[in-house]
Amino acid sequence: MDNLNSQSSTDHSNPQVWNFVSAPNLHPMKVTINVNKPGTAPGLLFVAPYTVYEAAMIGQTGALIMDQTGNPVWCRPLASRYIQNTDFRVQMYCGNPVLTMWQGTISGTQTATPNLPAGDPEPSAYFQIINQHYKVIKNLFAKKGFTADVHEFTITKRNTALFTAVKQVPADLSKYGGPLRGYFDDYSIQEVDIETGELVFFWSALEHINPADSMVPASSATSSNNIWDCYHVNSVEEGPNNTLLVSMRNMWAIYNIDKETGKVIWQLGGKQSDFKLGPNAVFSWQHDARYRSKNRISLFDDACCASSTSPPEGQARGLILHLDYKDKVASVDRTYYHDPALYVPSQGNAQKLSNGNQLIGWGQEPYLSEFRNAGNTRRNPSFNLLYDMRYPNQNLSYRAFKNKWVGLPLYPPSITVDLLPDGEAKVYASWNGSTETVAWQVLAGPTPFKLAVVVFSTPRTGCETDIHAQEVGPYFQVKALDSCGNVIGTSPTTYVKIRRNRRK
C-alpha cells in the first residue's frame, strides 16, 4: 500500500479501525454490513468520512473506496481530522474516468465556536481531480473572492467544472430581524474552464433570490459571527435548454434557473413555490436535487432540523417527485425510507445506479443504503432494501456513491515479512488502490538478484493478504497478478534477518 501520512489522533487499538502490517500509516474505519441481499448494482462504494467536533473520529478522515463487504480498496488519509474531503466520486474528464472531491476544513468540525455558519468551508479550500493512477492532475479554486464550497463539483461534457462557492457579504440585516452590522452568506454558482482556469459562468444567489424567503431567521446570525446563512445552496445540475437545477437547503426550495439571464424560471417548494405539493410531497432542509427525466426530480429529504438542538421534525427519506408542468402540481413518485427510521439534520444524497437501483447516503447519520427502484413507504421500510452499511460511532460522509472504477497505481505494492518460530515466513502484501489485483506471488532468495518464486499464486484476500512461505530468504518480494495471471506490479525487495537453528 501507499504509506501516506496518518492522523496522530487515530486510536490504532480500536477494533473499529483497520490496521495493516504492510501499510502501517493507513487506518481507515471499519464498517458494519447490516443487510446484503442479491440484486445490488455492480461497483465500489465511495465515501469521505469525518465527524462533528464533539465526537471521536474513528479511523482517519479523507477519501475511502470500499467493496461491498466493507474492505478498503483505496484510502487516502489527510494530515489531520480537522481537514476533510466531501463529494468524493467518479466522473469523466477528457474521456477518462477520474476521482473528484472537495478538500478543506468544514466549519464546525474544528472548534465548538466556529467563525462561520456550520457547514461552511473555511478559506483556502479547493477541488481536486485525480487520475486512475491516483495522481492529482488538477487543483481548482473558486473565483471572485469566493471560497470553494463543500457541496458540489461537477465536470460537464464540455470539460468545464460547475461548482458552488461561498462568500460573506457585509450588510445591514436589521430589516430582516438580524444584526445591523451583519453579513449575508452569499452562495455563487461558478463554471470554470478546467485547463485554463478561466471563469466562464457566474451566478449569485444574493442577486436573484430574496433572502426574506429563508426558513432560517436572520436573528440566527448572532450565533455565527453575525453571518446569516439564508440560502445554503447544496446542489447544482445542468438541465435542458441551458438551465440549472439548484437546491437551497435553507429556503426549502429547488429552483430552475435560466443560465443566460440568471432569472428563476420556476420554484419548487419554499415560500414562493410555483407548484402545489401533493400528499406526502412536502420536503424540507433538502439536498441533492437531480433530474431523473424531464418531469421527474429526485432529492434527499432531510425533513429535519432547524438546529442541532431542535427536536426531530420528520423522518429522512430519498424522494422522487413527478412534476406536472401544466397544472403546476408535484406528486410523489417514489420514496426510500431507512429501517430503522433516521432523523437527519444535514447532508445526504440519492443516486441512480446502473441497474436502476437507488443508493441513498444518509448524510449526518452514519449509513448508506441501496434499494430497488420501486422503493418503499414509511410503514414498510425494509421492503426493497437490498443493502445497508453502518459507519462506526458518529462518523459521517456528506454524500455516498457507488461507481465502477479501475484503479491502476503507479507506486509499487507494499511488503512486510515476519519470520515465524517454525522456520516459515509470513509475508504481508497489499497495494493501496489496485482494483485489478486478484492474486499474489511470493519470491525469495539469498540475494536481491537471485530471487525465485516460492509461492506461485495466493488469492488476494481483502486489502492485505498474509501468505505463508518456507523460509528461503533473507530477501523477499511480492508480485501482484491480475485475473489472467499477468504480473501487474512488483514490490521493493525486503531483507529479513534470519534466525538460525529455530526449525523444529
pTM: 0.96
* Mean pLDDT on 147-170: 98
**Distance (Å, rounded) from C-alpha 484 to C-alpha 493?**
24
Q: Give me the percent of the chain exceeding a pLDDT of 90.
A: 91
Q: What pLDDT score does 10 carry?
A: 59
Q: What is the layout of strands, in order, in the sheet containing 401-403?
A: 72-77, 62-66, 44-47, 401-403
DSSP H helices, 413-487, are: none
Q: Domains of the chain, with CATH numbers?
A: 32-403 (2.130.10), 414-495 (2.60.40.10)
Q: What cell numbers appear for 475 in the block? A: 530477501
Q: What pLDDT score does 502 carry?
A: 40
Question: Is the predicted pLDDT of residue 289 greater than 50, yes or no?
Answer: yes
Query: Could you say which DSSP state residue 411 is in?
Result: S
The CA-atom distances, in angstroms, between 184 and each of 248, 264, 354 are: 14, 20, 40
Question: Is the predicted pLDDT of residue 504 greater than 80, yes or no?
Answer: no
b/e per residue 357-372 (b: at least 16 CB within 10 A): bbbbbbbbbbbbbbbb
Q: What cell numbers appear for 14 in the block? A: 480500536
For the ranges 25-29, 133-137, 244-248, 419-423, the lowest mean pLDDT is seen at 419-423
**Distance (Å, rounded) from C-alpha 221 to C-alpha 21?**
49
**Distance (Å, rounded) from C-alpha 25 to C-alpha 12?**
10
pLDDT, tens digit (0-9, with 9 covering 90-100), for 329-349: 999 999 999 999 999 999 999
From the list 273, 278, 285, the residue with the least C-alpha distance to 312 is 285
Q: What cell numbers appear for 391 in the block? A: 459507519
Q: What cell numbers appear for 278 in the block? A: 401533493
**Distance (Å, rounded) from C-alpha 418 to C-alpha 473?**
11
From the list 419, 481, 421, 432, the residue with the least C-alpha distance to 453 is 481
User: Contact 422/504 with Cβ under 8 angstroms?
Assistant: yes
